[in-house]
Amino acid sequence: DARVTQTPRDKVTEMGQEVTMRCQPILGHNTVFWYRQTMMQGLELLAYFRNRAPLDDSGMPKDRFSAEMPDATLATLKIQPSEPRDSAVYFCASGLVASGSPDTQYFGPGTRLTVL
């Protein structure tokens, strides 16, 4: 049963520290998405990649957030320096976006980030 995996599941850190979240998309999927969820804002799209190339990262604060896909099996979301307002659950999702495909997105379990 293929699924998206994310590590760590929980992260508590202090303000100013660097945080790296990792995602392993489902093998064969060509698109990876990063979302952030808070009580106030709900689910927000931060960035996404197609065939490892960044398509859109307009949802991310550029000064502190960065997203990369060093290879097809790994996507990373980094925050440096972290701030208390970054506290949220970060979800990674992957999907096969192509002609004839249903464009279904499969979400990982999320990383719960708490910045003190």
Partner 1 sequence: DAKTTQPTSMDCAEGRAANLPCNHSTISGNEYVYWYRQIHSQGPQYIIHGLKNNETNEMASLIITEDRKSSTLILPHATLRDTAVYYCIVRVRSSSNTGKLIFGQGTTLQVKP
Per DSSP, 82 falls in state -
24/105 with CB nearer partner 1:
105
Can you tell me which of 33, 77, 79, 82 binds partner 1, judged by CB under 8 A? 33
70/102 with CB nearer partner 1:
102
Separation CA 96–CA 114 (nearest Å) = 31
Can you tell me which of 56, 73, 83, 85 binds partner 1, judged by CB under 8 A? 56
Q: Which tokens in the block code for residue 99?
A: 């002609």
Q: Is 15 in the site for partner 1 (CB under 8 A)?
A: no
Separation CA 22–CA 35 (nearest Å) = 13
Can you tell me which of 12, 15, 98, 116 binds partner 1, judged by CB under 8 A? 98
Per CB under 8 A, the segment of 11-19, 66-74, 79-87, 92-100 that binds partner 1 is: 92-100
